[in-house]
Chains A and B, each alone.
Chain A
Amino acid sequence: MLWKDRYKLGVPRIDEQHKELFRRVGLFLQVLRSAVCWDEKLQQLNEMLEFMKGYVVEHFHDEEEYQLSINYPGYEIHKQIHSDMVNYVQDVSRQFEQSDDNEELMQQFGGRLLAWLINHVAAEDQRIADYVRKKGMSGNDG
């Protein structure tokens, strides 16, 4: 289980999306690292990757909308971080397809995704929660 309660922002809608994102990434990593031969797990990995590409965009959009609604001052920087990650995921997906499903490429992606996601939610997103607390707002505001 990748998700930890200490990652919570106190914004119910965003916290639920984060939990779901961690759950999906956790499932993706379990399949990626399973002992099953590469060809057998390939279809499942591709389906998971496609789902995550869509879900990540949807979540980032919702989180950015929330930031706007509370006048979060780090909005532009945060949006750029999201945009860079979406571009990275799309690049990897394209390279993966062009490389005829190269396993090493997907293992590299999995490792970076794991560290990136934990840092993003545990550090970058917590700044939103810090701002909400500082302003005396509740997680249901906005």
Chain B
Amino acid sequence: MMDNIYRVFVDATQKVFNLMLNISEISDHPAENFKSDDVIDVAVSIDGDLYGKVIYRFPVSTSLNMVNIMSGMEFQTVDSFVTSAISEIANIISGNVLTALSDRDMQCNILPPVLYKSDNNHEENLEYELQTSLCINATIGEICLDISLNRVS
């Protein structure tokens, strides 16, 4: 099951990169304790047959590259425009994940993306049946995903 979930997220990210950024070549690898201070973290909550959350971790350089490609303009710093565009990309990847899960007879919904600040005192201690972290590399840089999901019993 975890392998399937991992693959669904990688495939959804690849599809979005291909369609939106014209990037077809990506590679992926499991990630343990991805740490970087210079990231935009976007959380998307999932509800339904699977529930929990996914945190998309976009390094600033990757984020700026993505927005530069989409806009054809030169963004050099992160501001509300950039975080909003990146949040929408997280939303779009999640939407593709839902479609793939639906094809596997799992019906889920997502909540709108929110900029995420980790809360070590509470959320990090929750236990999830399906928990994995992965990183995806492309010419524009890396993005990492922390996936924490439970199945409805």
Contacts and interface: CB of A to CB of B under 8 A. Distances in A.
Chain B interface SS verdict (over half): helix
Interface string B61-75: 000000100111100
A2 B81 contact: no
Interface residues of B, number: 22
Contacts, number: 67
B20 interface: yes
Most interface-central of A1, A29, A110, A114 (chain B CB within 10 A): A114
B71 A122 contact: no
Given A119-B20, A119-B92, A108 B73 contact: no
B107 interface: no
Contacts of B72: 1-2, 26
Interface string A104-142: 100111111011101100110010000000000000000
A33 B82 CA distance: 11
B82 A111 contact: yes
Nearest to B88: A115
Given A112-B88, A115-B88, A122 B82 contact: no
B52 to A, nearest CB: 24
A118 B20 contact: yes
A116 B88 contact: yes
Nearest to B84: A111
B148 interface: no
Chain A interface SS verdict (over half): helix
Most interface-central of B20, B71, B73, B87 (chain A CB within 10 A): B71
B19 A123 contact: yes
Interface in B27-60: none
Interface of A: 1-2, 4, 6, 26, 29-30, 32-33, 104, 107-112, 114-116, 118-119, 122-123, 126
Interface of B: 15-16, 19-20, 22, 67, 70-73, 79-89, 92
18 contacts: A29-B73, A30-B73, A104-B80, A108-B80, A108-B84, A110-B84, A111-B82, A111-B85, A112-B87, A114-B85, A115-B20, A115-B70, A115-B89, A116-B88, A119-B19, A119-B20, A123-B15, A123-B16
